[in-house]
Structure 1
Amino acid sequence: MAQRPLKLVPQLMAILAVAVITLALWAAWLGWDQHRDVHPDGSETGPYEAWQVIGLVLTLLAPVYWAASRRYFAGAVLGVTAGLTAAAYYDWSDDSSGLFMVGVGMVMVGSLVVTGAVSAVIASVKTRTGPARQRS
């Protein structure tokens, strides 16, 4: 099977497109909720609910699938990672303790690892079931 050479411009466009979509999805799912819940014992949780984060993750599967199935692995992995990292930084940077950078770093590393794994699975499945596969 012949491999396509890595083309720089389509990869960069995929990174940009997936990053913009990721930023929009963050805004839609998490960006509007800035309210922390205060419990009777004085502890705080939030601002996000579990359903919001699950919704974000599930909707991010669409752009990751789009990019990975077209062999734009850099677009899938770096686009989502850049988008989530930028959104988390912008959303959390008003924290006066400075600990928001720990969270941003965790988002960056976590999204890099998870999108890399998901992209590899998508590419593997797409390769086995793709139209280019012929029986001998």
Structure 2
Amino acid sequence: MRRPKLDSQAGAYLVTAVAAAVLWAAWLGWDQHRDVHPDGSTTGPYEAWQVIGLVLTLLAPLYWAASRQDVVGAVLGTTTGMTVAAFVDWSDDASGLYMVGVALVMLGTLAATAATAATIATLTRRR
């Protein structure tokens, strides 16, 4: 018996949303300080290797869902998880500009996961 598509999409959505939020916490959630350089400039709070690690580990749940042809659930779940995690992590910013960053995370995640999930689904489609 074939599984209903709605249940499949909901499962993919939940798995990728939870995975994205947990991976954000694991890679980025613990680093909250900015680095001050001798010239007074600041960087951070994240290092490039943390963001690269997050992106690479997000490929695993995205691949799992997209290879099952659950592209919509994979894209929306990953985008939701990343957006919620960014909002929670950055919401203590007094300037209010964190919402711009959250919106950019949402749009970037949506675009990147849509392209990646569509590619994975196409390459893994059973004929």
TM-score normalised to structure 1 length = 0.87
Q: Give the residue type in structure 1 aligned to 2:49.
A: W
1:22 aligned to 2:23? Answer: no
Corresponding residue SS for 1:19: helix
Of residues 83, 91, 109, the one that matches 2:89 is 91
Corresponding position of 2:32: 34
Corresponding residue pairs, total: 126
Query: CA RMSD of the aligned region, Å?
Result: 1.5
Q: CA deviation at 1:5?
A: 9.4
The 2-side partners of 1:23 and 1:77 are apart by 14
1:107 aligned to 2:98? Answer: no
Q: CA deviation at 1:12?
A: 1.2
Corresponding residue SS for 1:98: coil
Q: CA deviation at 1:35?
A: 1.3
Corresponding position of 1:75: 73
Corresponding position of 2:41: 43
Corresponding position of 1:123: 121
Q: Flag as ranges the 4+ runs of structure 1 deviating above 4 A.
A: none
The 2-side partners of 1:74 and 1:107 are apart by 18
Of residues 52, 55, 62, the one that matches 2:53 is 55
TM-score normalised to structure 2 length = 0.93
The 2-side partners of 1:126 and 1:88 are apart by 31
For structure 1, the 5+ residue unaligned runs are none
The 1-side partners of 2:4 and 2:116 are apart by 20
User: Who wins on radius of gyration, i.e. which is larger?
Assistant: 1
Percent identical:
67
Residues 45-98 of structure 1 show CA distances to partners (whole Å, capped at 9, x for unaligned) of 101000000000000000000000001112210111000000000000111110
